[in-house]
């Protein structure tokens, strides 16, 4: 187990694209918006065990959980702008596109929608963190290719390995596509580490 964790940790540290991205430190009263589908909502665990709740404790910042199970990226594009204006976060943590992959929606459409969401945040001077979602395959250790491409295109910090590694470990997931409480805790800890390394905290 320790060996697995060390390999996992090294993949997270080496696989993230954030080394070239420096973020502005969040203000003391900053709100973080966690936006996405069931992976953000916390399907497979209680509300208190979802990653936004744990991240709020780690960062001492309010983390608004705006995950809707089953949502596809097209609907996320329509929903996000109003939330950005209402909540006025300093940071957006975006985990979206998993349902597109499961429904075999063309990747170009998903990538376009993710780009629109990132653009909405950037237009408001909101920092963006992107987590990649894996292909629904056994033994995959990285996110679908579109996430790396998007991170580079928009020059945003991205963690491409946390979710794939969690969903490869039966001890960290509640079903084939969702973490359990332990998995969400690992998500929160890795995101917290990413925020620290990029200077946001």
- 65 has which bridge partners? 34
Helices 145-154 and 107-123 pack at an angle, to 10 degrees, of 30
63 and 32 Cβ atoms separated by less than 8 Å: yes
Query: H or E stretch including 10?
Result: helix 2-15
Backbone angles phi, psi at 157, to 5 degrees: -70, 135
Q: Which tens digits make up the pLDDT trace of 92-122?
A: 999 999 999 999 999 999 999 999 999 999 9
Classify domain 2-197 by CATH architecture. 3-Layer(aba) Sandwich (3.40)
Candidate from 13-22, 156-165, 169-178, 191-200 with smallest mean pLDDT: 13-22
- 94 has which bridge partners? 35, 130
pLDDT band at 15, cuts 50/70/90? Answer: very low
Overall pTM surpassing 0.85 (yes/no): yes
Judged against a pLDDT cut of 80, whether residue 16 lies above it is answered with no
Domain coordinates in residue numbering, the chain: 2-197
């Amino acid at each position: 187990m320790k060996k697995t964790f060390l390999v996992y940790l090294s993949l997270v540290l080496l696989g993230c694209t954030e080394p070239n991205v420096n973020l502005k430190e969040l203000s003391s009263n900053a709100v973080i918006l966690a936006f996405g589908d069931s992976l953000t909502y916390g399907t497979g665990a209680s509300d208190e065990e979802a990653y936004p709740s744990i991240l709020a404790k780690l960062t001492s910042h309010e983390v608004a959980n705006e995950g809707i199970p089953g949502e596809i990226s097209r609907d996320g594009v329509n929903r996000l702008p109003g939330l950005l204006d209402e909540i006025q976060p300093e940071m957006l943590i975006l985990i979206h596109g998993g349902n597109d992959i499961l429904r075999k929606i063309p990747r170009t459409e998903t990538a376009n929608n993710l780009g629109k969401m990132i653009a909405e945040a950037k237009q408001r001077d909101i920092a963006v963190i992107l987590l990649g979602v894996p292909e629904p395959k056994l033994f995959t250790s990285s996110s679908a290719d579109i996430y790396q491409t998007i991170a580079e295109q928009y020059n945003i910090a991205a963690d491409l390995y946390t979710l794939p590694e969690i969903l490869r470990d039966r001890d960290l997931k509640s079903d084939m596509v969702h973490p359990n409480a332990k998995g969400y805790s690992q998500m929160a800890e890795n995101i917290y580490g990413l925020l620290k390394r990029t200077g946001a905290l």
